[in-house]
Every structure is written in C-alpha cells, then in structure tokens.
Amino acid sequence: MDVLSDVITVTRTGRSRSAYVRWHAPWRQEFASVPGSAGFQVILQGSCWLLRPEAEPVRLGAGDVVFVPHGRGHTLADSPDTPVTDPPCGPADDQPSGTYVSGTFASDTVDRSGEDGPVTVVLCGACQLDPSRTHPLLLTLPDLIHLPARAGRHPELSAAVQLLAAEVENPRLGTDAAVPALLDALLLYILRIWFDGQSALGDTTGWAAALNDPPVTAALHAVHRDPASPWTVATLAAEAGLSRAAFARRFALLVGQPPLGYLTWWRMTTAARLLRTSDAPLRSIAAQVGYTSEFAFANAFRRTHGTAPGTYRRRS
C-alpha cells in the first residue's frame, strides 16, 4: 500500500457515522469538539455560514467541503446572527429515529423542520481515530480545511460525494459495505487535494513536500510496501536514488524524523493493528514487521507502546 492509503487504514477505528440533514431556516447547529475524531460536512443544496471562535464567518455554497481532521468544534448556521436552534452534536448523542445502524457505521436521515425558510441540505460524516496510532501526516493538518466548489475541478471528490449522499439518504442492499468504503474514499480525496494544493503553493517542508518529493516518497512507499524487509539507511537511500548522507538529511527534513526512526514507528504501528485485528501468534506478527526474534520484537513494542504485546492484545 502507499503512504496515504495506509494512513487511512491504520488510524481509523470504531464505527463511522454519517447523516443526510435538511435544515429549514432559521437554524444553527453546533458541532461539539470531539478529540480523536475526524469529520466533514458537504453542502449539497442551498448555502450556510461556517462559524468558529476567533475567526471570521465563512459563507458556504453548494458543493463546498469542510474537513475537520482534529475534531475541533465549529458551527453551521443559515445566518451568523441566528441563535442556537438545536443542541450540539457530539459522540454521546442518542440514535435519532430513522437511523440505519450496522456493524461498521451508523447513518442518519434527518429533517430539521423549522420555519418555512430556505432549505439547506448537508451531508455530514465522522470517523473515530486512534490517538495512539495517529500518523504524523495527519498531525500536520490545520484545524479546518475548506475546499470551495469550483465547476469542473475535483471530479473524483464530487463523484464520491454524490455516491455517498445517495447511499445515506436511501439505504439499500449493499449499503453496509458501500458507505464505509465511500467514507474512506472521500477522506482520501480530501487529503489528496489538500496536499496537492500545498505543493502548488510552493510548500517545501513537512509532509506536503514529502509526498511530492520523488526520492522521499520512493523510500516511504518501500517501507509501507514491505515493513519486514531488513531496511537500512543505505538500502532506503538506494530506493530513493540518493547517497546515504543526502538521503538521511532530506528524509529527516521533510518527514520530521530519521529514516530508521520512522521505520520503527511504522513497524510498531502495524504490529499494534495486527494485535488488535487478528489472532496471529506473536512470533508471526514479529516476522511480519521485521523481527526474527520474538524477544526483540516484544522489547521494541514495549518501548513504543509502554506495554507488552500480549497485554496490549488483551486490553484491546
């Protein structure tokens, strides 16, 4: 798998949620701060305002996408002056009537009837993230990403939104499989567009630059493709097509840690996922992440996660 695909697969956990909501003006909906989650809203019809503390109101129109990667609180309203009309949305909310619940996601179709004002339709979604396995790529994102709608741009994002909206509004046979996959696709397209945009703006540092730097990306893909390989700085430099010293400097500058430091972190993150999601014996998991000795693997895991692999599995 490539880096961006792995970021989504490894950090997401728990049940995804989505909702297709019609608001009738006047309305104002607060979205509570939910650490350890990532959420989005897509304006499907009408318009509204995005409100945040200590920030100017932003008008949103049909097709606009708002992504909140760190679960920060924010508000949507038909007007900046409209008072609160609904209680804040949060993880402790009860399932409303009309909720479609499966083993992997919960989906709501909600009509917020108010006065006979203009209608705004919003597709909302959220997924739970494991803070202990949050990829450093996600940590570099801003608190909020706004992708304005532009005709003809980002057709893949528009297609994912349309498909997801159709499944959430009218659940049918296969929706249980379709919605989680579409939520992952939507998140992938949002991140891809964001990082491509940062590159176009000339961002030459951090993960925005790393994902658009062919040598560093080649090394990252090698690590993610085969974490069990006995990688060294020299062999990763060969994948990158650079000298050992030049590669080590370049990788650390863009990724934020040395090549072998990132390799160890990724191995231990992968091991934690395998411990949580499989019954494979420890020696098998150790081999899958590059350790020939179960004892050496257990020591490395304990240094990273603060507990032994067997204890981590039981707690998970």
Residue among 44, 73, 46 at smallest CA distance from 144? 73
Which of the residue ranges 77-81, 102-106, 173-177 would you say has the lowest mean pLDDT? 102-106
Could you read off the pLDDT of 155-202 as tens digits, one per residue?
Answer: 999 999 999 888 888 888 988 888 888 888 898 899 989 888 887 777
Element (H, E) at 111: strand 105-112
**Measured CA distances, 207 to 35, 124, 234 (Å):** 22, 27, 22
Could you read off the pLDDT of 201-244 as tens digits, one per residue?
Answer: 776 678 888 888 999 999 999 999 999 999 999 999 999 999 99
Q: Tokens at residue 87, please?
A: 């209680």
User: What's the one-letter identity of residue 70?
Assistant: H
Q: Is 77 helix (H, G, I), strand (E, B) or coil?
A: strand
**73 close to 32: Cβ distance less than 8 angstroms:** yes
How far apart are the C-alpha atoms of 84 and 123, rounded to whole Å? 20
Mean pLDDT value across the chain:
85
Report the side by side order of strands in the sheet with 100-101. Answer: 100-101, 105-112, 12-24, 119-129, 37-45, 65-68, 145-147
Could you read off the pLDDT of 33-68 as tens digits, one per residue?
Answer: 888 788 899 999 999 999 998 889 999 999 999 999
Q: What proportion of the chain, given as a percentage, has pLDDT over 90?
A: 48
User: Whole-model pTM?
Assistant: 0.81
The domains of the chain, with CATH numbers, are 3-200 (2.60.120.280), 213-315 (1.10.10.60)
Mean pLDDT over 270-278 rounds to 90
Residue among 265, 218, 213, 220 at smallest CA distance from 239? 218
